[in-house]
Amino acid sequence: MLRLSSNDPGFAEAFARVVADRRESAVDVAADVAAILQDVRERGDAALGELTAKFDGHDLDQSGWQVDAETCRKAFGDLDPTLRSALELAAERIRAYHAAQLPEDRDYTDAAGVRLGATWRAVDAAGLYVPGGRAAYPSSMLMNAIPAKVAGVERLVVVTPTPKGEVNPLVLAAAHLAGVDEVWRVGGAHAVAALAYGTERISPVDVITGPGNAWVAEAKRQLYGVVGIDMVAGPSEILVIADAQNEPRKIAADLLSQAEHDPTSQSILITDDAAFADAVEQAVETELTALHTQATARASWETNGVIIDVASFAEAPALANALAAEHVEIATDDPEALMKQIRHAGSVFLGRMTPEAVGDYVAGPNHVLPTGRRARFSSGLSVLDFMKRTSFIQLDSAALEAIGPAAVALADAEGLPAHARSISVRLGQ
């Protein structure tokens, strides 16, 4: 774990190294992924079957290519009632939050008499990648599928790796609750290729969303343009800005909530009290001993964890903006004041009673968020990722006479006479 102080002479250089550290896979998978994509494009289901046998250790012809709707319904019905209620609460809140994101069509006539506007429409089909390797997350199923359904997507397709043919029943239950149409027992870069190009069994989709490993992320990156994607996500991260009025064990728990995801995850604390920083560091050690995910969380904390002592919280917004973290917790007396100065963050959690983890499950906003400083230019998953906007224009003779001559002049200036002619003939020129 790295300890920094903004008062140290070398702080700027040390902090710049933290900002620049991508923590993403050191293995260059681009060439391997390109070969997989090409194989699936050329051989379809045959390639999917071979790659699934290689990576997941089962024969799709024997275990079944698809999980049927009845199996998903039964998985939901068999849930412990408490867990089923929790899943239903999460789904209800996620649905309500994303319904409020639906954009409105525009239709108006401007001062020149030109009718202008835009209509929003959902894509026809969306593909969701749901991890099934290191961990399986029903919450990610809800966070990806529900916004697509709210947007109005007609066909929702899930691909998920099933090691040895086994699929997590919680994921199936979440698929049922979210209204998923198809669940396929394939994962990895080859599953992403199947969604993009289509195979004999799997029809192609228009947009692919969802988290995955380095191969999945690289597949999405290479296929952008063939299909739309949500983002190329990297390791999880959390930045906690906390003062000494917090209980150290609570802040320690918050830091570890992301550290337990993966050894490459990163947890950072910014505080204005060195003694509190010491107490949090000690509390992390105590909290680690109680986690069955201790090995992963410890590797993350010891390799990528950072504690930054600042002279005052006036320094925190600039540091936060440079980090552009996926999750930012502000546990101070006046979190609103700090939030107003933070321009780059995937999602912000305000106050001492708002742990980031509540946002992962039941708060409502999406937990699929930009990582690796991508919050500088991108946002979390929303209904807009499953929609596109089409503009429209309508002129009558008076409107064309008002603005057409300017268009003719610009077309002539650009050396495009046919453009100019298509307008001028309507102006009687």
DSSP state string for 373-408: TGGGT-----GGGGEEEEEEEE--HHHHHHHHHHHH
Cβ-based neighbours of 182, under 8 Å, separated by 6 or more: 66, 155, 156, 157, 158, 202
**What are the backbone dihedrals phi and psi of residue 96, each rounded to the nearest 5 degrees, phi first?**
-65, -45
Reading the block at residue 273, the tokens are: 């009290």
Percent of the chain with pLDDT over 90: 93
On the question of pLDDT at 31 being above 90, the answer is: yes
- 146-203: per-residue pLDDT in tens? 999 999 999 999 999 999 988 889 999 999 999 999 999 999 999 999 999 999 999 9
Q: How far apart are CA 42 and CA 393, in angstroms?
A: 42
Reading the block at residue 30, the tokens are: 């681009």
| Overall number of domains in the chain | 3
Mean pLDDT of 278-300: 97
pLDDT band at 248 (very low <50, low <70, confident <90, very high): very high
On the question of pLDDT at 13 being above 90, the answer is: yes
Reading the block at residue 243, the tokens are: 């003062």
Q: Is the Cβ–Cβ distance between 126 and 209 less than 8 Å?
A: yes
Find the CATH number of the domain harbouring 271: 3.40.50.1980
Which residue's structure tokens are 């609570």? 250
pLDDT of residue 27: 64
Binding residues for substrate: 236, 258, 261, 327, 360, 414, 419
Mean pLDDT of 409-424: 98
Instruction: Judge whether 388 lies within some domain.
Output: no
- 75-111: per-residue pLDDT in tens? 999 999 999 999 999 999 999 999 999 999 999 999 9
Instruction: Judge whether 238 lies within some domain.
Output: yes
Both 98 and 131 in one domain: the answer is yes
On the question of pLDDT at 208 being above 70, the answer is: yes
Catalytic residue among 176, 190, 327, 367: 327
Mean pLDDT of the residues in the chain? 96
Percent of the chain with pLDDT over 70: 98
Instruction: Judge whether 34 lies within some domain.
Output: yes
Both 200 and 292 in one domain: the answer is no
On the question of pLDDT at 34 being above 70, the answer is: yes
Range of the domain at 423: 395-427
On the question of pLDDT at 231 being above 70, the answer is: yes
Instruction: Judge whether 278 lies within some domain.
Output: yes
Both 75 and 219 in one domain: the answer is yes
Q: How does strand 327-331 pair with strand 182-184?
A: unpaired
Q: How far apart are CA 345 and CA 325, in angstroms?
A: 5
Single out the residue in 192, 213, 229 at which a domain terminates.
229
Instruction: Judge whether 163 lies within some domain.
Output: yes
Q: How far apart are CA 297 and CA 302, in angstroms?
A: 8
Binding residues: 236, 258, 261, 327, 360, 414, 419
**CA distances to 65, 107, 134, 144, 160 from 169, in Å:** 16, 46, 16, 17, 12
Cβ-based neighbours of 98, under 8 Å, separated by 6 or more: 146, 147, 150, 364, 366, 382, 383
State the chain's maximal CA–CA distance in angstroms: 83
pLDDT of residue 213: 87
Burial of 36 (0-12, 13-18, 19+ CB in 10 A): buried
Q: How does strand 207-209 pair with strand 125-129?
A: parallel
For Cα atoms 53, 55, 61, give the angle at the middle one, nearest 5 degrees: 25
In the 8-state DSSP scheme, what is residue 224? B
Both 285 and 210 in one domain: the answer is no
In the residue annotation, 326 being an active-site residue is answered as yes
pLDDT band at 233 (very low <50, low <70, confident <90, very high): confident
Both 47 and 145 in one domain: the answer is yes
Handedness of CA 345, 338, 334, 282 (dihedral sign): positive
What's the pTM value of the predicted model, to 2 decimals?
0.94
Instruction: Judge whether 167 lies within some domain.
Output: yes
Both 247 and 321 in one domain: the answer is yes
Which of 172-176, 213-217, 238-242, 346-350 is predicted least confidently?
Answer: 213-217
In the residue annotation, 327 being an active-site residue is answered as yes
Q: Is the Cβ–Cβ distance between 218 and 33 less than 8 Å?
A: yes
Q: Is the Cβ–Cβ distance between 232 and 43 less than 8 Å?
A: no
pLDDT of residue 26: 54
Single out the residue in 229, 259, 283 at which a domain terminates.
229
On the question of pLDDT at 135 being above 70, the answer is: no
pLDDT of residue 25: 60
Catalytic residue among 326, 329, 344, 356: 326
Reading the block at residue 385, the tokens are: 């990722």
Both 58 and 170 in one domain: the answer is yes
Both 167 and 286 in one domain: the answer is no
Binding residues for Zn(2+): 258, 261, 360, 419
Question: First vs last Cα of the chain: how many Å apart?
Answer: 75
